[in-house]
Amino acid sequence: MVHFVYIVNMKSIILLVAGAALPSIIIIILLLRADKARPEPIGLIGRSVFYGFLASIPAVIIELFLDSFLGLYPGLLGIALKSFIIAALVEEGLKYFFLNRYLYYNPAFNEVMDGIVYAACVSLGFAFAENLLYGMDGGWVLLMRAFTAVPMHAAATGIMGFWLGLSKTMQEPVQANAAKRKGFYYALVIHGAYDFFLFMGSTFALGALVVLFLATRSLRALVKRAKAIDDRNFAIRDALNSL
């Protein structure tokens, strides 16, 4: 009997991990296919995902602490604070920290598209950790998040990654820092707006789907823009090297 329960529990854990990881894996594969012209080191991709997973640990601690003060701010103000500060600022801030501290200065990070790839991978590691927590409520939660929260993380942080990647092409530190801040603000607004509509509930929750649609559409456009910039820069570099 004990052995049977152990097997059942192990199967449940395996299904939870697989279900939590699958959406992130699919999006990472799509990103790697988009970046196939000059692919990134697989080891660094794995580290990016791991950094995102690590970022979820302080995020949970900080968010639980800040949540304890939400009772002081009822109504729309409380929802806005939870959405833009407790959720978006904390989570995107931690993702940005790991991106800027451990990936931005890596020699392999040398294209605009690289910013999107590494940033999205960090976000998907974070989303995987979130899925493990939310997935304990049932498989239907993982199914719903596979089409909502997971791509939202990838889109919001991926857009931030575009601006981080673009900043690498700028000679002036002031311009580069401004681009990095711009990317962070975009991620903050997208993530916060998504959560705000979601936390409002009822028909307002449909607004989260609108935000998700616009964010993913923007990311797709930025992927095309990033690849065009990178192709042009490499063509110029090759031409100069051939002289």
Residue whose structure tokens are 């923007």:
218
Q: Determine the straight-line distance between the first and last CA of the chain, rounded to whole angstroms.
A: 76
Q: Where on the phi/psi map is residue 217: left (φ > 0), alpha (ψ -120 to 50), or beta?
A: alpha
pLDDT category of residue 33 using cuts at 50, 70 and 90: very high
C-beta of residue 123 within 8 angstroms of C-beta of residue 55: no
CA dihedral in degrees (218, 220, 225, 230; nearest 10)?
Answer: 140
Instruction: Specify burial of residue 164 (Cβ count, 10 A radius: 0-12, 13-18, 19+).
Output: buried
Q: What is the pLDDT of residues 41-57, one digit of tens each?
A: 999 999 999 999 999 99
What's the domain range around 15? 2-241
Mean pLDDT of all residues belonging to the chain: 92
Q: Residue 4: what pLDDT?
A: 35
Q: In this structure, what are the phi and psi dihedrals at residue 138, rounded to the nearest 5 degrees?
A: 135, 155
Q: What is the pLDDT of residues 97-134, one digit of tens each?
A: 999 999 999 999 999 999 999 999 999 999 999 999 98
Nearest to 164 by CA among 217, 231, 95: 95
Q: What's this model's pTM, rounded to 2 decimal places?
A: 0.92
Structural domain tally of the chain?
Answer: 1
pLDDT category of residue 14 using cuts at 50, 70 and 90: confident
Q: What is the pLDDT of residues 191-214, one digit of tens each?
A: 999 999 999 988 999 999 999 999
Q: Residue 227: what pLDDT?
A: 97
Q: Residue 51: what pLDDT?
A: 98
Cα–Cα distance for residue pair 47/209, rounded to 1 Å: 30
Q: Residue 3: what pLDDT?
A: 42
DSSP tally for the chain: helices H, then strands E:
9, 0
